[in-house]
Structures are given as structure tokens and as C-alpha cells.
Structure 1
């Protein structure tokens, strides 16, 4: 119950900061959010928690806000801007991974160098995990932009925004989960365990994506001065 309560607070804070960021900084704020969210998501995913008997990783909430960014950009500024944001995030993810791997190469101070082990735990990702994360992000984000664009043409009415947001996110999140779990875990676990990881990961993303809809409507109502 403790994790459930704090999980609700955690989700609410993520969405509130996302909306505030757009309100204050507009389109540039969405670009900056994508860059830092891609990094934080891959740090938070290292920590696992248990909720209602299900083991899950952190990082899913802030990772969902990346889809919120591209969908909001697509809605208000067009597909080209949303696709550009995907490339921003992809470059940030690669650059941060490379830089932190180089940082781990340095020999720490013999006495008092206590940060090395902690940094290796967080940033010393296994090759398959890192490859899975990069591929899943790239494929699913570009797919999200395309699906949202299609739904925008198919359901163009302003009140149908929820269809565009949830439809594109739920499709792309499934692909994201499938690509990541296949690259990172296929062969490492038995089929039934692998399937359980895939389904629980997607189910959590599904719930968070639905919960994000009111925040998306609120963010869309703003007309930031920066724009």
C-alpha cells in the first residue's frame, strides 16, 4: 500500500512538472523535457519495486511523458516538429550513454573514491539492455509520430484528441515493450517468464498513458508566450 500511495504521488508530480514545463517554456520546453527524460528514464529503470505482488521497474512514468511530448508537438506544431524531437531524444540517449561509459573507465581514487561502484551499478548497463533501450526508443517513437499523424487525419475533431493521444501511445508502447523485451531478455528467461515481463511492462504503461490524458488536455489549452 505504501508503494501504491507514493506511486500515485510520483505519477502526479511527473505530469504536473510536464504541464508546468510547457506552460513556462512552450515548444522549447518540450524539446528539453524529452532530452532529460530519456536520461532519467534509463537511470530510474535500474530500481525495482513491488506493487500488489508484481515486481516492476521505475522509469515507466517519465518514459510515458516522452510520448506526451511528441504527441503534443504533433498536435500543435505538426509531424515535422514531433519527428525532430525524436531525433533530439535519440541523440541525447546515445551521447549520455557514451559519456558515462567513458567516465567509468577512469580509475577511482584509492581512498575515498566511493562513487565508482554506485556509478557502475547505475550506468554500467549490459550491452543487450543498452541496445534494447536504444532500439525500442527509436522504433517506437517514430511509430508514435506516424500513428498520431494518421489518427489526426482520421479523427481531426478537437474533441477527439483523446483518441489521437491514446491510440498512438498504446500502439507505440506495445512495440516499445516488444522490441525492448526481445532484445534484452529473449533467451535469458523461459518463454512464460519472458511473456510475463512483456505483459506486465505494457500493462503498467497502458495505465499510465490513460492517466496522462487529462494532463494532455490541460497542456494543449495553453498558448505559451515562447511560441
Structure 2
């Protein structure tokens, strides 16, 4: 279990650092990075691990990384572009679903050893993707609106943390019931620990929010 906790911290550090690096490259790179994250979230959510004695999935750091990236886009490139980013990543999710189901439709020959593994990973995809899409659109637009409402009342770090915490709770509750019910071993464990882990990840991401200001200041010099 200690190794999983250590891996989680490394995961947060990696995702947050790559998000800042994408920001440094420009808004196109950040959108591409978020598109990759949304595909990875839907795929990696199928793996179950144990953290602090409870069952949880492996995608929490990725989900918070996506919300962090979306907040960075809204802060530096505006609400209109943030909304466009949501629709772009929505398109990527649907495209991945289509491609994965076409891939499964091919009949393997006698030499293939991978089809059963692909089937185990990709067969739950339609349910997970549709649950993800519904949750995704609801939570992302909620996140954009809340972030905008807080812009005149809190600091960048403050409103980022508030929106991350609020959105992750909403995201976890909706997606867990729609996408994971009957798939994971213990849904209440997944919900409670996912909220706890995502809240911890959100807190750990705050220093990267502050670093983003320096990254963009350096970019404009």
C-alpha cells in the first residue's frame, strides 16, 4: 500500500508538471494534453487499487489534472476558449469510443494473443464513455461558470482550489453511479476515497497554479 501512496504522489507531480509544460508551449499544446488526459481517464479508471485500506481507481490524479488544465486555459486564454476546449475534448472522447469499438469488431486469427485483453479493456468503454460524457459536460461547464463567478472575489490560486474541490466531488458522485456501478468491487469505498484523494491532489496542485503565473510571465517577457 505504501508503494501505491508513493506512486500517487509521483503521479500528481508528473501530471501537474506536464500540464505546466504544455501551458509553456502554448494553448494548442495544452488543449492536446487535455485531450490525451480525457482518453487516459476513461481507460485507466478500470484498474482498481488499494489506498489507505480502501478500493479506488487509478484515474484520480488524471481527472484533477484535467480540471487544473481547464482552469489554466480559462485564466490565461479566456472563458470562450475554455468552452471550446470542452467541446474539443468531448469530440475526442466520442472518437476514441468509435475507434475502440471498430477495433474490437475485427476477428482475431489463430496467431493473435491480444484480443481478449483488448476486449477486457474496451468492452466496458461505451458505458464508461457515455457516463463520462454526461458527467464531463455537466461538470466542466459548472467548473467554467463557477470559476468565472469567483474571478472578482478570490485570488487565482483560491478560485482554482475552490473549483477543483467542488468539481471533483460532483464529478466523482455522478460518474461513480453512472459508470462504475456493478463494475468496481466496492462503490462506496471508491466514492469516499476518490473524493479524499482528489481533494488531496487538488491541494498538492496549488503550488503548480502559482508556478503557472511565473511560466506565463516568462512567456510574455
TM-score w.r.t. structure 1 length? Answer: 0.88
Question: Aligned equivalents of 2:71 and 2:77: distance in 1?
Answer: 10
Question: Aligned equivalents of 1:91 and 1:100: distance in 2?
Answer: 14
| Alignment deviations for residues 47-92 of structure 1 (CA, whole Å, 9 cap, x no partner) | 1111221111111111211111110111112111111111111111
Question: Aligned equivalents of 1:185 and 1:10: distance in 2?
Answer: 22
Name 1:213's counterpart in structure 2: 206
1:198 to partner: Cα distance:
2.2
What is the aligned residue count? Answer: 217
1:172 maps to which of 144, 167, 173: 167
Name 2:46's counterpart in structure 1: 46
Answering whether residue 148 of structure 2 is matched by residue 153 of structure 1, we say no
Look up the SS of the partner of 1:46 in the other structure: coil
Question: Aligned equivalents of 2:11 and 2:26: distance in 1?
Answer: 23
Q: Quickly say closer, same or farther: Cα 1:26–1:196, change in 2 above 3 A.
A: same
2:132/2:175 contact within 8 Å kept: yes
* Unmatched segments (≥5 aa) in structure 2: none
2:40/2:62 contact within 8 Å kept: yes
Question: Aligned equivalents of 1:167 and 1:47: distance in 2?
Answer: 28
Name 2:9's counterpart in structure 1: 8
Question: Aligned equivalents of 2:148 and 2:46: distance in 1?
Answer: 33
Question: Aligned equivalents of 2:193 and 2:160: distance in 1?
Answer: 21
Question: Aligned equivalents of 1:146 and 1:134: distance in 2?
Answer: 18
1:208 to partner: Cα distance:
0.7
1:196 to partner: Cα distance:
3.8
Name 1:77's counterpart in structure 2: 77
Look up the SS of the partner of 2:215 in the other structure: coil
Q: CA RMSD in A?
A: 2.1
Give runs of ≥4 in structure 1 deviating > 4 Å: none
Look up the SS of the partner of 1:212 in the other structure: helix
1:148/1:164 contact within 8 Å kept: yes
1:225 to partner: Cα distance:
5.2
Q: Which moved more, 1:1-10 or 1:141-150?
A: 1-10
2:8/2:61 contact within 8 Å kept: no
TM-score w.r.t. structure 2 length? Answer: 0.90
Question: Aligned equivalents of 2:16 and 2:169: distance in 1?
Answer: 21
Name 1:121's counterpart in structure 2: 120
| Alignment deviations for residues 138-176 of structure 1 (CA, whole Å, 9 cap, x no partner) | 111111111000010232xxxx11211011111111221
| Alignment deviations for residues 1-34 of structure 1 (CA, whole Å, 9 cap, x no partner) | 12222222222122122212222x1111111111
1:136/1:180 contact within 8 Å kept: yes
